[in-house]
Amino acid sequence: MHIVVIGGGVVGVTTARELIRRGHRVTVLERHPVAGNETSKGNAAQRSYGVVYPWADPSMVFKSLPWLLQQDGPLKLGLPPSLEALRFMFATLRYAWSPGLFGLNKRAMLRLGIYSRERFLALEQEHKLAFDGAHQGLLHLASTPGAMEDYRKLHELLAGMGIASSLLTPEQVRQVEPGMTGGGPLYGAIRYDTDGTGDCHLFSQELARACQELGAEFRYEVSVEHLLADQQRVNGVQIRRADGRTEIVEGDAFVVSAGCWSPELVRPLGLKLPIYPVKGYSITVPLSEPGRAPVSTIHDDNFKVVSTRLGNRLRATGFVELADFNRDIPEARIATIKKSVQSRFPGCANLDDAETWTGFRPMTPDGPAIIGRGPRDNLFLNTGHGTFGWTLSAGSAAVIAQVIDGEEPAVQLDAFRPGRFSE
């Protein structure tokens, strides 16, 4: 079959690789000049298979309101808030308070995370991909005794699901992270032993090149304007090229992996996807003192900032901001991220030289991504991964390929079904 994948971020590229593996002819349509140039470009660089959890967390409801009022609080709301932002917030609250839903969704996402790790390891063994990747675990720091107690409960849950983790004392934290010499509060940590890191932007480009070598066609700098469909099937997509001309790209099947831009493609076909562009920020800077930098990925729960070692660079990421598609980068957001790095890894880099970035995570109000068959027989969706696109991409790609080929998916997909928001 000729399968057209709409979107060349990490989810779209890994989907293309899995389809090629199964003998399909693949065309990827991407509006940027290279793969992985949107949400995949400046993310937290962590593949946090044991940390995936739904956005709609009942415990977060009470925490989030004070965060809005704190200068360094991790949650921000554009003022005045748009109707879209308010709708997303209220939908999230509704799902958060649905009895038992959080636990069901969290377990479903963790199962997909476990499978995604398997698929990532297979990809790395199959291809020589240079993306500063590593598998040295991930540390979530506890800045309060209460946070450490929460980690103890989480450790038990993960153990029951076969996900390796360990609890560390403050002394053990500094043993595994000798560069962490700052004075930030520390009561211990939970370590996700099998989690990994890597530059998602580089990975996407490297894997795209591998796909091209295997016969895939990547059409860059093209905008998908709409799907051409009858009541049963999608027959093609209309694209606009960089020269302004329109063109019809036909195929036997179509996969929408366009992140925050997915809803507008499927809405004319009767499918409403409440994906919201949750804004995040990051800095990337060369290391001046590598011995003072993180060994792997450190989640600082004091500022809710993630710092990741990427070869000879540091990537630090933070904030959940509801500001629609506003790409402004307020200095206050960057200052908070730098403050977190300084409180844990002082002197590791000249933070004044950091490259700044902002991007949009395609978030669903309940948490799980949207994976499965769409409103036409040959239309499929693999989108809406929120903050876990890099982490879950390899697993969700394999699963959607299985669905396309009519196989039983390796991970149960009820929590991820595309039509759940209108049920």
pLDDT band at 167 (very low <50, low <70, confident <90, very high): very high
With b meaning 16 or more CB within 10 Å and e meaning fewer, what string describes 358-396? bbbbbbbbbbbbbbbbbbbebbbbbbbbbbbbbbbbbbb
Distance CA 140, CA 297 (A): 9
Range list for CATH 3.50.50.60 in the chain = 2-40+202-272+367-422
pLDDT in the model for residue 135: 86
CB of 259 within 8 A of CB of 11?
yes
Q: List the beta bridge partners of residue 248.
A: 238
| pLDDT tens digits, one per residue of 385-413 | 999 999 999 999 999 999 999 999 999 99
Q: Does domain 55-81+133-194+276-363 have CATH number 3.30.9.10?
A: yes
pLDDT band at 134 (very low <50, low <70, confident <90, very high): confident
For residue 60, pLDDT over 80 is answered with: no
Comparing 48-62, 168-182, 248-262, the range with the smallest average pLDDT is 48-62
Q: List the beta bridge partners of residue 299.
A: 140, 306
Q: φ and ψ at 421, to 5 degrees?
A: -80, -15
Range list for CATH 3.30.9.10 in the chain = 55-81+133-194+276-363
Percent of the chain predicted with pLDDT > 90? 90
**Domain 2-40+202-272+367-422 homologous superfamily, CATH:** FAD/NAD(P)-binding domain (3.50.50.60)
| pLDDT tens digits, one per residue of 115-124 | 999 999 999 9
pLDDT band at 298 (very low <50, low <70, confident <90, very high): very high
pLDDT band at 239 (very low <50, low <70, confident <90, very high): very high
For residue 87, pLDDT over 90 is answered with: yes
Contacts of residues 82-87 at CB distance under 8 Å and 24 or more positions apart, as own/partner, are 82/324, 84/276, 84/324, 85/276, 85/322, 85/323, 85/324, 87/274
For residue 61, pLDDT over 80 is answered with: no
pLDDT in the model for residue 27: 98
Query: By CB neighbour count within 10 A (0-12 exposed, 13-18 middle, 19+ buried), where does 44 fall?
Result: buried
